[in-house]
Amino acid sequence: TTDPDKRWEYCDVANCGDTIALPTPPPTPSAEEIGCVYSSDTLQKDYRGSLAVTTSGRTCQRWDSQSPHSHSRTTANYPDSGLDENYCRNPDNEDSAWCYTTDPDKRFEYCDVPQCDETTRKARQLRGDFSKDK
């Protein structure tokens, strides 16, 4: 067990033929929910959405954390890069948005930021959200 006061406990093992309800994976967020980039932003430097998972599914490390990977990509060193939370960003002109991972064995990985389509662009223009149309 993970409880330091409990040395052992019984496991709930299903019997053959029992139906087991497997956990449902969370739905894939839409580009509208996590943000997107336009094809003109090839380096994704202007991406300010909330994607926080790499292409292989690793969780991104917070930019203000130095664990498990210490780094110099901080808001002090890159003040205009939007280094918020643990969101994918490209503060230093890499090939695309990326992040440090929470996996101690994998320092950083690129993120699969979705491309905006014409519908997204029109919806943003109707809302008056021009800041994301760079």
- 54, 60 contact by CB (below 8 A): yes
CA distance 7 to 127: 57
pLDDT along the chain (134 residues), means of 10: 78 74 63 76 90 96 97 96 96 96 97 81 53 43
Token digits of residue 18: 């029992």
**Rounded alpha-carbon distances, angstroms, from residue 87 to 12, 17, 62, 98:** 38, 43, 7, 9
CA distance 54 to 12: 34
| pLDDT computed for residue 65 by the predictor | 97
